Amino acid sequence: MKKNLVLIAALAGLTLAGCASKGNKDAGTNPGASDSSGISTSGTGADGLGAGSAIGSGTGAAGAYSLDNKTIYFAFDQTDIDSAGQTVVDNYGRYLSSTPAAKLRLEGHADERGSAEYNIALGERRAISVARALKAAGATDSQLSVVSYGEERPAAPGHDEAAWAKNRRVEIAQ
């Protein structure tokens, strides 16, 4: 029990640190749900990993995975996943296929250009694209939910391509 609390605190610290450093690509924060119940401790894999194993990484039946990188980035007006994004998908796919009780929320975003509601739809398309890829990598429907924030919750301030590139993303949240 105590070990889990330490792990939760450590992960919470990592997450909050990710909030503060705006330019951090790995800042996989949980922006929308201010009242979320916090980080799940369900991490026992199908091969019987103990309750003390770290959530940030593990080994499932499909192989080792790391959950530290929670963000997939996209090109302007596009929803295709590039190779860096596919690596994130592969890791989470292995995690989900070896952890049937695990659930993820895929949060889609767009950069600020263009109209707000069209960007909500674009963000949803991106999140659905990631959901499809995760299912191909071993996840089931019931493990995934999708929400879009469009351009409303940017990760990076600024009105240039450097900021926009960081805002066209899907964030994986638990």
Partner 1 sequence: MRLIQNLRRSLSPSLLLPLLAGLLVCSGPARAALDISVVGGDTGAQPIAVAPFATPPDINFDVAGIVEADLVRSGLFTALPRADMLETPSAVSQVDYRNWRAVGMENLVIGSLSRSPKGGVAVRFFLLDVYRGQQVLGFDMPAVTPDQLRVVSHQIADLIYEKLTGTKGYFNTQIAYVTAAGYGLARRFELIVADADGFNPRTIAASRETLMSPTWSPDGKKLAYVGYEKGRSAIFIHTLATGELRKFVSEKGINGAPVWSPDGSKMIVTLSFETNPDLYLIDIASGQRRRLTDHFAIDVEANFSPDGNTVAFTSDRGGSAQVYLMPVAGGEPRRLTFQGKQNQRPRFSPDGKSIAVVNNDGGRYSIALVDVQTGAMRKLSEGPLDESPSFAPNGAVIIYSTIGRGGAELATVTVDGRVRQRMRQPGEVREPAWGPYSR
CB of 38 to partner 1, least distance (A): 13
Amino acid at 135: K
Q: Identify which of residues 37 and 83 has a Cβ nearer to partner 1 in the complex.
A: 37
Task: At 85, list the tokens.
Answer: 């994004």
Residue 76 contacts residue 119 (beta carbons within 8 Å): no
Instruction: Decide: is 159 part of the binding site for partner 1 (CB under 8 A).
Output: yes
Is 152 among the residues that bind partner 1 (CB under 8 A)? yes
Residue of 5, 6, 33, 162 interacting with partner 1 (CB under 8 A)? 33
Residue 162 exposure: Cα atoms within 13 Å on the Cβ side: 5
Residues 36-55 that bind partner 1 (CB under 8 A): 36
Q: Which residue number, 32 or 56, has a Cβ lying nearer to partner 1?
A: 32
The tokens for 100 are 């049937």
Judge contact between 18 and 28, C-beta under 8 A.
Answer: yes
Residue 94 is classified by DSSP as H
CB proximity list for 22: less than 8 A, separation 6 or greater: 155, 156, 157
Choose between 89 and 122: whose C-beta lies nearer to partner 1: 122
- Residue 94 or 133: the one with the smaller Cβ distance to partner 1 is 133
Contact between 32 and partner 1 by CB under 8 A: the answer reads yes
Restricting to residues 61-120, which ones interact with partner 1 according to CB under 8 A? 77, 105, 107, 112-118, 120
Residue of 45, 36, 38, 33 lying closest to 12 (CA atoms): 38
Task: Give the integer Cα–Cα distance in Å for 163 and 152.
Answer: 14
**Segment near partner 1 (CB under 8 A), from 30-38, 54-62, 82-90, 91-99?**
30-38
Identity of the residue, 34 or 142, whose beta carbon is nearer to partner 1 in the bound complex = 34
Cα distance between residue 93 and residue 99, in whole Å? 10
Residues that bind partner 1 (CB under 8 A): 16, 19, 22, 27, 29-36, 77, 105, 107, 112-118, 120-122, 124-125, 146-150, 152-155, 157, 159
